[in-house]
Amino acid sequence: MRDQALSRRGVLHGLTAIGIATLTTRGVFAQRLIETASTTEGPFYPDKLPLDTDNDLLIINDAITPAVGDITHLTGRVLTKSGQPLRNAFVEIWQVDRNGSYVHTQGRQPVGFDTNFQGYGRFLSDSKGQYYFRTIKPIDYTLQGMFRTAHIHIAVSQNGRRVFTSQILVNGHPANARDGIAKRLDAAALKTLLADFKPLPGSKMGELSANFDVVLGTTVNELEPGAPRGTAPSINRKPNG
């Protein structure tokens, strides 16, 4: 079922339609790649995964009503520092809904949460290291007295081991300047976490597209099996969806 979830709703077609650039000459890119900065996972990684964990966060299973928010097609590649694409990388994202609530029992706002927003998704990168998610543009929020700028959490695991954890920030968002995590990063590191959320060409619904490449500070040979980390500790069943 997990393989079915990863291939649902025309994922590969979506990648092609949006037009992700392919890695054609490793030698050229290898000298230009800059390692993506890592940040904290944060306290709201799902403590109970949603019933649907595929890469479309706007629709839960086969529901008719979509989540509320600015529809965003998030694409990117997982690469090593030498420019090699990482195939079958386990990419996860999670974020708040339009109300500022996470899929976490302690991460809900008093006003409630969008029951139609999946809040968490996963995807296995293809042979070019590419991944794709359909989600909403993140918003800034205050939760449990802590302010955060708009961001999407992202993590990458390989061979059952978490190898990267960080956050995607909206380039040019005014709240970045007062975000606690962003302020702890130097300018060069912060730049690697910024993504442009642009209007999707030809969209009649005001959809957006954003591209975020993850450049790991390691090589393929160093990505050896280790302790599992790709799922919430409380989950020991095979996810549905």
Q: Are 24 and 94 in contact (CB under 8 A)?
A: no
State the pTM of this model: 0.82
What's the confidence (pLDDT) of residue 210? 98
What's the confidence (pLDDT) of residue 144? 93
Q: How many helices (H) and strands (E) does the chain have?
A: 5, 12
Q: What domains can be seen in the chain, in order of their start residue?
A: 2-219 (2.60.130.10)
Maximum pairwise Cα distance, the chain: 52
- Strand order of the sheet with strand 90-94? 120-124, 90-94, 151-158, 161-170, 194-195
| Segments of the chain scoring below 70 in pLDDT | 1-31, 219-241
d(CA 26, CA 190): 25
pLDDT tens for each residue of 186-202: 999 999 999 999 999 99
Q: Are 140 and 148 in contact (CB under 8 A)?
A: yes
